[in-house]
Amino acid sequence: MSINKEIKRITTETIRSMKGKEKISMLTSYDFTIAQMVDAGGIDAILVGDSASNVMAGHETTLPITLDQMIYHAQSVVRGAKRALVVVDLPFGTYQSDPQRALDSAVRIMKESGAHAVKLEGGKEIEKSVKRIINAGIPVMGHLGLTPQSIYQFGTYKVRAKEEAEAQKLIDDAKLLEDLGAFSVVMEKIPAALAKKVTESISIPTIGIGAGAHCDGQVLVVHDMLGMTHEFSPKFLRRYLSLYDEITGAVQQYVQDVKSVDFPNENEQY
Ligand code: KIV
- Per the rule left: phi > 0, alpha: psi between -120 and 50, beta: everything else, 138 is beta
Q: Any residues with CB less than 8 A from the CB of 210 and at least 6 apart, and which?
A: 146, 159, 188, 189, 190, 234, 235, 236
With a 6 Å cutoff on the Cβ, whether 216 touches ligand 1 is: no
Q: Looking at the domain covering 12-239, what would its CATH class be? A: alpha beta
Convert the pLDDT of each residue in 182-210 to its tens digit: 999 999 999 999 999 999 999 999 999 99
The b/e string for 43-57 (b: 16+ C-beta within 10 A; e otherwise) is bbbbbbbbbbbbbee
Per-residue confidence (pLDDT) for residue 8, from 0 to 100: 80
Q: At residue 139, what is the residue type?
A: P
Q: How confident is the model at residue 83 (pLDDT cuts 50, 70, 90)?
A: very high
**Cα separations (Å) of 200 from 42, 94, 123, 154, 204?**
26, 32, 18, 27, 10
Q: In this model, does residue 10 exceed pLDDT 70?
A: yes
- Dihedral of CA atoms 169, 62, 9, 25 in degrees, nearest 10, equals -60
With a 6 Å cutoff on the Cβ, whether 48 touches ligand 1 is: no
Nearest to 123 by CA among 104, 141, 138, 108: 141
**How many whole angstroms from 51 Cα to the centroid of ligand 1?**
6
Q: Any residues with CB less than 8 A from the CB of 173 and at least 6 apart, and which?
A: 122, 123, 124, 142, 144
Q: In this model, does residue 7 exceed pLDDT 70?
A: no
Convert the pLDDT of each residue in 230-239 to its tens digit: 888 999 999 9
Residue % of the chain over a pLDDT of 90? 96
Ligand 1 pocket test target in 27, 51, 223, 236 with most atoms within 8 Å of CB? 51
Confidence (pTM): 0.96
Q: Is 119 marked as binding a ligand?
A: yes
Q: Is 44 marked as binding a ligand?
A: no
Domain map of the chain by residue range? 12-239, 242-270
Per-residue confidence (pLDDT) for residue 139, from 0 to 100: 98
- Angle between the N-to-C axes of helices 67-80 and 99-113, in degrees from 0 to 180, rounded to the nearest 10: 40
CA 150, distance to chain mean position in Å, is 16
Q: How far does the chain reach from its first CA to its final CA, in angstroms?
A: 50
Give the pairing type, strands 140-145 and 117-119: parallel
Convert the pLDDT of each residue in 28-57 to its tens digit: 999 999 999 999 999 999 999 999 999 999
Per-residue confidence (pLDDT) for residue 136, from 0 to 100: 98
Convert the pLDDT of each residue in 97-141 to its tens digit: 999 999 999 999 999 999 999 999 999 999 999 999 999 999 999
Measuring from atom 8 of ligand 1, which residue has the nearest CA? 49
